[in-house]
A and B are shown apart, each in its own frame.
Chain A
Amino acid sequence: MPRLSPDARHTVRVTVNGRALEGEAEPRMLLTDFLRHKLGLTGTHVGCEHGVCGACTIQIDGAPARACLTLAVQADGADIRTVEGLAPEPGRLSILQEAFRRHHALQCGFCTAGILMSLNWYLARTPDPSEVELREFLSGHICRCTGYVPIVAAALDAAQRLRETGEQR
């Protein structure tokens, strides 16, 4: 573990959505601030900065994580995936994103990025979840707009389509 000086800025090198990026960060800078304000990836949202709401959820080295509970310097060398990396190409949505749009599974959209990043990971590992399992898994996220009903419906629909098409990730 390298020792970092609190007053110095350190170069943080990360791979985000397949691209090598780097920026300067003081040791205390949160990964949310680094992604949003240093790298310009504002799709990851900040809702509470204490790890409860789930809006900032990203994938770090293949596992979902709260970016607000992670320091930027901790992510040095990590492979990061954010909501900006979910769509297969500009103007097209992934199967999961399409299901969210079809089911009206978002209203203000502020919590949505975190939910998508969690579900993207979960459905790859649990291709055929029950509604109860899905609701339990999603309980790490707070949505204030939808009442969760359409989110659950979209996730179940996406799971089925993913099973049928065999699309990865």
Chain B
Amino acid sequence: MNWVGQSIERVEDAALLTGRGRYIDDLAAPPGCLHAAVLRSPHPHAAIRAIDVSAARAAKGVAAVITADDVTQFGAPLLAGVKANIRCWPIAVERVRYVGEPVAVVIAADRYLAEDALELIAVDYAPLPITLRPADALKPDSAVLHEGLGSNIASDRSFRYGDPAGAFARAAHRVSVKVDYPRNSCTPIETYGLIADYDPGEDAYDMLATFQGPFSIHAVLARALKVPGNRLRLRTPPDSGGSFGVKQGIFPYIALMGIAARVAGRPVKWIEDRLEHLAASVSATNRMITLEAAVEADGRITALAWDQVEDVGAHIRAPEPATLYRMHGNLTGAYDIANVSVRNRVVMTNKTPTGLNRGFGGPQVYYALERMMQRIAVELQLDPLNVIRRNLVPSGVFPFRTATGGLLDSGDYPAAVQQAIDEGGLAELRARQQQARAEGRLYGVGMTAVVEPSVSNMGYITTVLTPAERRKAGPKNGAQATATISLDPGGAVTVHVSSVPQGQGHRTVVAQIVADAFGLRPSDIRVITEMDTARDAWSIASGNYASRFAPAVGGAVQLACERIREKLARAAAAQLNVPADEIEFAASRVRARGNPDNALPFARLAATAHWAPGTLADDDQALRETVFWTPPQLTAPTEEDGINSSLCHGFIFDFCGLEVDRITGAVRIDKYVTMHDCGRVLHPGMVAGQVAGGFAQALGAALYEAYVYADDGSFISGTLADYLMPTSAEVPAPLILHFESPSPFTPLGAKGVGEGNCMSTPVCIANAVADALGVKELDLPLTPAKLAALVHAA
């Protein structure tokens, strides 16, 4: 019996349930540690004429006040992924460009005193005209944020795959949708936090931060702090209070507080508060999309034309504009569409810079694509299920190369859809809809099909560069995952992975994988997941993002196990007098297959290389193995701009029934069904947790959540009473179904599963609301006020 595949209890939970977690703010601060508070801009756009910090410097308990002068003296700008004449600093230099941008940092004996001193800083601002919406940013006369750029358009690329113009010319119908996708965030309950230290003797920074990866950012930070990478030690705490991508966005503060510690001459601790987090941590991108489809009379799509205007806010922070390109290989979704044109523009506005957020580009792309599928059904008077089925990638063609270069690894989409409608009861839901409508109620059914990418190709972002620019910069591709397995002198097994979990139970799943490989119990295995770039094996793809744990990190663990097992098997073969290929690992013993009495205790064999290395051949010394694994399918963009942006592609088919209250406009979800094919399931309980958790966040994005800016650029979602996240009273339990198509590209056959519902659920709900109300254009969030206005206008 295997441990993998069982929903065992998590090794993480006993500590977390008893108040013994070790989150950043629980860790002992080093002796002499001071505390930081950040002064932030109240203006969306203004020149800084002068900053007077003299009163703050003289205030009680204050050790230092850091301004742009310090940051430009000791630091360098943060690099981004596009070639544009923009300098992005972790603090406002000469100009503020969004409400909440750091302007000064006070370092004091405690946080209370530091906040007192913030009030004593006098900043002389000269307000400037603002550019707030992406449509405004496209206008030639919009207020320019970065004068070196000359406009607010940081990138403008067009792509053509197949013959979209010909397909549109021949098409029987054209169907289009316009989407204004709002800003939102997955908003972890723990905010950012860090402890910064600088050693002038070695010119080295030691930063302990709630960073979640990708560790490509380590290179950005070393440049920003003007030290080689081996003088920037970046560590993470043992526990994290959630991230969902968001804690990637702490990195500018790592640079800022590193310099603050250097100037103060003491360690510095900073814990972001909730008001700072909402206003100025990071946001998903808002995006303006026009999507057009060439459609045959039967609903078959022959071409897509994408026009996307991505609003990254006031700065392009690494890895942006990655949100715009992560989906590039799967811009045709779950469908077989041969001809695609794309125009992608990246614009700057006076809002908080954007970064990683669960779903990362998927919510925006699938909102447009799947709203369009619903519109095709309406306009051509077809059943929406049939429109989806007519266009699905057919059975038996995997691995399947998409028009834009993605390689869909495995699946059987039509079969998964059929299973979902059978087990999920679509017919019954439609009967309920008929009855509700007969009673005069506003009841809608929505559905959506989605391909969920996981394990990002670290080279996909270079699709934003032209082929000539890429040739000059050199190829970028791949995604190194790492795992290190150590055997100690007592034969006990310790594993380190650079996966930086944020609550996903990686330690438990790694223990399951290793226990299976060595015939041990998960409780025999100790797994370490905190990261230390000075000591651990890591690479740029390390970290917790793009749903890479199960497919990539789990796979690297499996490969490291196999390496150690081969060595141990050879050592055991000599002692048990059987060939190495007849050695098996089971029941905490290493034994001859078919003769279980001819055996050694695992621990004794595993300790051999410590106590008696002279009895082993050089190649059989099993002490410690580190595996770096990168999948060969993750190649650089082609000369034709084809890009396999992700290694794995799960499949999701969702449908739901909901009712809109005629008076209040409130949405009541009647039933929600979500079918997932995420390859091999390693821990069903955790997969269910990822699906239900992602569903709840997606429900929030669909119905309640938006980072709202007033027309004057002020931020008006600054508390949790304004930014409404769903609670237990609002989130129904979705019916979760599974279809299992193991990935041929990953060692364990697993694919990612954590982000799919953030892609599928918002548009599934919107399609149901559109069905209920009979409306064409519908932008999120579908708040009661918005829907009530639509109902009452009808």
Contacts and interface: CB of A to CB of B under 8 A. Distances in A.
A100 B502 CA distance: 18
Interface string A38-53: 0001111111111011
Contacts of B505: 107
A121 B191 CA distance: 27
Interface in A93-141: 93, 97, 100-102, 104, 106-113, 116, 134-136, 138-141
A142 interface: yes
Given A53-B189, A108-B241, A145-B503, A93 B18 contact: yes
Contact of B20 (A43, A47, A49, A111): A43
Given A47-B241, A109-B239, 10 more contacts: A108-B189, A108-B241, A109-B16, A110-B189, A110-B190, A110-B241, A140-B727, A145-B242, A148-B696, A149-B733
A141 B720 CA distance: 11
A45 B274 CA distance: 13
A87 interface: yes
B731 interface: yes
A86 interface: yes
Nearest to A87: B18
B693 A146 contact: yes
Contacts of A144: 186-189, 242, 244, 693, 696-697, 725
Contact of B242 (A110, A113, A152): A110
B379 to A, nearest CB: 35
The 5 A-B pairs with the shortest beta carbon distances in the complex, nearest first, are A43-B19, A108-B503, A110-B241, A109-B16, A147-B692
- Interface size on B, as a range, is 35 or more
Contacts of B734: 147
A108 B500 CA distance: 12
Contacts of A147: 689, 692-697, 731, 733-734
- Label chain A's interface by main secondary structure: loop
A162 interface: no
A135 B17 contact: no
B648 interface: no
8 contacts: A36-B26, A97-B17, A102-B9, A107-B242, A108-B241, A144-B189, A145-B693, A150-B692
A159 interface: no
Contact of B729 (A46, A113, A139, A146): A139
Contacts of A31: none
B728 A135 contact: yes
Given A107-B504, A108-B190, A50 B727 contact: no
B273 A49 contact: yes
B19 A142 contact: no
B426 interface: no
Given A108-B240, A142-B727, A152-B728, A42 B19 contact: yes
B728 A42 contact: no
A108 B242 contact: yes
A83 B18 CA distance: 6
A57 interface: no
A42 B244 CA distance: 23
Interface residues of A, number: 55
Given A107-B242, A139-B729, A144-B244, A150 B689 contact: yes
B171 interface: no
B7 interface: yes
Contacts of B720: 48, 50, 52-53, 142
A109 B13 contact: yes
Contact of B19 (A52, A53, A113, A152): A113
A130 to B, nearest CB: 13
B13 A106 contact: yes
Nearest to B9: A101
Contacts of A50: 274-275, 719-721
B307 interface: no
B17 A110 contact: no
B412 interface: no
A34 B691 CA distance: 37
Interface string A9-50: 000000000000000001011000000100001111111111
Nearest to A85: B19
A147 B128 CA distance: 43
Contacts of B21: 42-43, 109-110
B23 to A, nearest CB: 7
Contacts of A42: 19, 21, 23, 25-26
Contacts of A143: 189, 728
Contacts of A73: none
A101 B19 contact: no
B12 interface: yes
Contacts of A47: 189-191, 241, 274
B231 interface: no
B688 interface: yes
Interface string B186-210: 1111110000000000000000000
B179 interface: no
Contacts of B5: none
A63 to B, nearest CB: 20
A139 B688 CA distance: 21
Interface string A41-81: 11111111110110100000000000000000000000000
Nearest to A100: B17
Interface in B485-515: 502-505
Contacts of A135: 728-729
Contacts of B695: 147
Best-surrounded residue of B10, B16, B242, B688 (most CB of chain A within 10 A) = B16
A147 B687 CA distance: 12
A26 B692 CA distance: 43
B631 interface: no
A144 B758 CA distance: 13
A109 B9 contact: no
Nearest to A116: B17
A84 B19 CA distance: 5
Best-surrounded residue of A49, A108, A110, A146 (most CB of chain B within 10 A) = A108
A156 interface: no
Best-surrounded residue of B242, B273, B730, B734 (most CB of chain A within 10 A) = B242
B611 interface: no
Given A108-B190, A109-B503, A113-B19, A142 B13 contact: no
A100 B18 contact: no
Interface string B157-196: 0000000000000000000000000000011111100000
A87 B14 CA distance: 10
Interface in B451-502: 502
A58 B19 CA distance: 12
B189 A142 contact: yes
A108 B689 CA distance: 11
Contacts of A146: 689, 692-693, 696
Contacts of A45: 23, 189-190, 241
A48 B276 CA distance: 10
A140 to B, nearest CB: 8
